[in-house]
């Protein structure tokens, strides 16, 4: 099957880079379809209140994911590329670092809950969810297969894990089990994936029992990753603070309805990461060989992000009432909120592309600064809007925060041209210029 032609990219080069992550993309699409169906059925079964309680707990744990993962994954891939013979030491060191970070998160989460709890979500639920930080240490295996350009194994684990998880949740619904069983089921999802990673890795004479810990390597990895830990915390606040603030200000039922909005709206947000991962090596090659071509390819990438996200935003804006017919009438009033929230995806897509540019140009601090700016805008607007507008206020705050963070760089002289390029893509000026040239 021939892959589609992407403007600004050589077809042969595009196929080479896309196939490296194409299987992962297929796996995520399959997982997304399974999760969406189950999420709809869960929302109908649990109702707004219980749905809000569960999603409040998950959002709360999300804040600490950056600490638990230590921002190591991309550095693991890099180390494995550079020192393939040191595989067992790299994976072993990273694994135990993540285990220790996950354990350290448990008392930190407890302290944070005492200071700013997710009202309505009992701490024992949060405690169960906090074990996810320890279980996810097995994602180092995911990084290993990425370094080997063998995403098909990750795809197989993810699809199989999501199928089993879906069956378990559907059985719980069918047998009408209480909420606590679903708390354990969500946590079990991560254990299931980790077990899948374990058995996949154990094949072909590989074994996690050969892994070893190296203190010097741990210090080296932590030295590289600590800025990403801080950045990850800011991203967590930026992405999920609206859910917790809505739950604490407007209650779990409003948060439960808003959770369905976020699920429908954010379901597509993995796409820009996959596309950028596929195409950015070709863009970096152009930077090395031809600066003019490099700039054109970046513009084409921004155009592509808009071409993908804008139709989705338009379609869901008008289709949101129909979408909510899949749910019970209890959630129907959330449709207008989805029509607003979905537009934040356009800025997520553009932001993912511009973040790769900032990393390629070694402007990592700007990525952190603009994310922090977005988090501040989000918190401030949530405090102002949620008391008066409920979840619609949260959606508006999210949209404005995402747009502000994405275009923050237009005020930084050394990268302001990227803001202009994104504006050209967003308002289809770049597309009009291409049509005129033809």
Mean model confidence pLDDT for the chain: 84
Same domain, 210 and 84: yes
Same domain, 272 and 204: no
Per the structure block, which two tokens stand in for 218?
């741990």
Residue 6 lies in a domain: no
pLDDT digits (tens, 9 = 90+) for 15-29: 554 555 555 666 667
For residue 357, is pLDDT > 90? no
Residue 283 lies in a domain: yes
| Residue-level pLDDT at 368 | 78
Residue 250 lies in a domain: no
Q: Is the dihedral of CA 85, 103, 136, 71 positive or negative?
A: negative
Report how far residue 306's alpha carbon sits from residue 429's, in angstroms, rounded to the nearest whole number. 11
Residues 6+ apart with CB under 8 A from 187: 128, 129, 131, 132, 135
pLDDT digits (tens, 9 = 90+) for 400-429: 999 999 999 999 888 899 889 998 998 888
The residue range of the domain holding 115 is 19-225
What is the number of structural domains in the chain?
2
| Residue-level pLDDT at 175 | 94
- Are 377 and 405 a contacting pair, CB within 8 Å? yes
pTM of the model: 0.82
Nearest alpha-carbon partner for 264 in 335, 180, 213: 335
Per the structure block, which two tokens stand in for 274?
């996959």
DSSP-based three-state secondary structure for 18: helix
Residue 213 lies in a domain: yes
Same domain, 44 and 126: yes
Same domain, 187 and 273: no
């Amino acid at each position: 099957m021939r892959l589609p032609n992407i403007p600004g990219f050589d077809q042969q080069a595009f196929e080479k880079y896309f196939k490296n992550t194409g299987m992962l993309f297929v796996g995520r699409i399959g997982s997304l379809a399974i999760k969406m169906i189950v999420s709809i059925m869960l929302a109908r079964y649990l109702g707004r209140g219980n749905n809000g309680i569960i999603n409040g707990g998950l959002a709360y744990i999300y804040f600490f994911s950056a600490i638990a993962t230590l921002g190591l994954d991309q550095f693991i891939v890099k180390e494995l590329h550079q020192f393939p013979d040191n595989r067992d030491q790299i994976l072993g060191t990273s694994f135990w670092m993540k285990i220790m970070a996950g354990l350290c998160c448990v008392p930190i989460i407890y302290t944070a809950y005492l200071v700013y709890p997710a009202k309505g979500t009992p701490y024992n639920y949060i405690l169960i969810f906090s074990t996810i930080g320890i279980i996810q240490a097995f994602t180092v295996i995911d990084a290993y297969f990425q370094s080997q350009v063998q995403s098909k194994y990750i795809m197989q684990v993810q699809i199989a894990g999501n199928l089993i998880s879906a069956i378990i949740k559907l059985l719980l619904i069918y047998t009408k089990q209480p909420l606590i069983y679903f708390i354990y089921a969500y946590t079990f999802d991560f254990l299931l994936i980790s077990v899948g990673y374990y058995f996949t890795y154990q094949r072909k004479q590989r074994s996690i029992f050969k892994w070893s810990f190296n203190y010097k390597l741990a210090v080296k990895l932590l030295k590289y990753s600590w800025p990403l830990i801080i950045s990850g915390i800011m991203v967590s606040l930026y992405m999920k603070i609206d859910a917790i603030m809505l739950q604490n200000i407007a209650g779990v039922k409003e948060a439960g309805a808003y959770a369905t909005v976020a699920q429908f709206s954010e379901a597509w947000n993995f796409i820009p990461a996959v596309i950028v991962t596929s195409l950015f090596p070709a863009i970096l090659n152009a930077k090395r060989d031809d600066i003019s071509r490099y700039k054109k390819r970046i513009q084409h990438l921004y155009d592509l992000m808009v071409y993908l996200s804008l139709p989705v935003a338009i379609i869901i804006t008008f289709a949101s009432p129909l979408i909510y017919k899949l749910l019970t009438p209890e959630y129907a009033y959330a449709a207008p909120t989805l029509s607003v929230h979905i537009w934040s995806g356009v800025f997520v897509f553009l932001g993912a592309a511009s973040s790769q540019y900032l990393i390629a140009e070694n402007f990592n601090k700007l990525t952190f600064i603009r994310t922090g700016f977005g988090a501040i805008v989000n918190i401030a607007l949530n405090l102002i809007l949620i008391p008066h507008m409920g979840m619609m206020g949260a959606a508006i705050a999210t949209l404005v925060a995402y747009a502000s963070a994405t275009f923050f760089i237009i005020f930084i002289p050394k990268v302001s041209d990227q803001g202009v390029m994104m504006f050209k893509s967003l308002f289809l000026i770049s597309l009009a210029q291409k049509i005129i040239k033809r």
